[in-house]
Amino acid sequence: MTILITGGAGFIGANFVLDWLAQTDEPIVNLDKLTYAGNLETLASLDADARHMFVQGDIGDSALVDRLLAEHQPRAVLNFAAESHVDRSIHSPEDFIQTNIVGTFRLLEAVRAYWGGMPAQEKAAFRLLHVSTDEVYGSLGAGDPAFAETHRYEPNSPYSASKAASDHLVRAYHHTYGLPVLTTNCSNNYGPYHFPEKLIPLLIVNALAGKPLPVYGDGMQVRDWLYVKDHCSAIRRVLEAGRPGEVYNVGGWNEKPNIEIVNTVCALLDELRPSLGTSSYSAQISYVKDRPGHDRRYAIDAGKIERELGWKPAETFESGIRKTVQWYLANPEWVAHVQSGAYRDWVQTQYASV
């Protein structure tokens, strides 16, 4: 028994790989393109682990994917591979079209051919699990009910539009070809090994470096926050017991405005790593021009996965954010190594007005 994971050196994928191998001996074949956000240092503890086979490559490389499927005969494929940063999608949308749409299409084609040739019993047990985002649903008003799985798709950025397209392709391959797919749409993840372009790790890294803490607009954009290890446990549960063709929203039941996240991180750093100066890290907060088309509020209704599969998050935001800040403070080498020249150039471009 083996599973094939795509994008397993990225933030969520790598956390899933580490979590999976901490709980089972079932091997993983890990296919990752190793773009700027893929980091093998995250998986360094598995260097001598025979259960983990890493392959550098693109999900859009049909010949490579065909070969891996034929050689390793996985019982499931989990697709984490994606370009996932909204700001980058605004500056360079074509990368998102290629990976999230074309790449997903080519992966689906390879998996469909592989699944079609399986013996009947193995074919019935096979699953393709596609990891997606709540951003495909668009933006909510302050009093609107949270996103349910039946909410209309209304993506507002090139990133969310590309993920919406990939979701539709996955759904179509189930309804057209019978491919046994599962889709999860998650809220904002946070936790260890998060690339420091996203809000929480960027705050930690900038605060410790004495740099401005950039906050878009008025900072009142609301997101639901999900600790990454809770997300991993939800994916395991959906893979284990989810019904083919179904969508499961995964959330943390933690709606918070961005400025509250910023102040919480500052308060934790004040406690755990006090500044050499006399002021709080919150003195470094700097408001910057809002990004184009910035969605005001996301909220996930994770009731279906709890009702049908018995899953709910183990961490509160308070426990999860403390663990996250402690991890970054304890792992400065990982942070330093991941901050390449390309990353620094990106931050300079995005936050030039700070």
**Residues labelled as active-site residues:** 134-135, 159
Report CA 77 to chain centroid distance, whole Å: 16
Residue 96's contacts (CB-CB under 8 Å, 6 or more residues apart) are 83, 88, 89, 158, 159, 162
Helix runs in 143-257, H state only: 158-177, 199-208, 228-241
For residue 13 the two structure tokens come to: 């994928």
Q: Would you report the helix, strand and coil content of the chain in percent, each value rounded to 5?
A: 50, 15, 35
- Residues 125, 239: Cα–Cα separation, whole Å: 11
Pick from 169, 234, 174, 282: nearest CA to 20: 234
Task: Check if the beta carbon of residue 253 is closer than 8 Å to that of residue 313.
Answer: yes
For residue 125 the two structure tokens come to: 């047990």
Measured between alpha carbons, how far is residue 124 from residues 60, 79, 94 in Å? Answer: 26, 19, 36
Helix (H, G, I), strand (E, B) or coil at 67: helix
- Give strand pairing partners of 78: 5, 129
Q: Which amino acid is at 94?
A: E
Task: Check if the beta carbon of residue 140 is closer than 8 Å to that of residue 296.
Answer: yes
Helix runs in 97-227, H state only: 104-116, 120-125, 158-177, 199-208
DSSP string of 103-129, one letter each residue: IHHHHHHHHHHHHHTS-HHHHHH-EEE
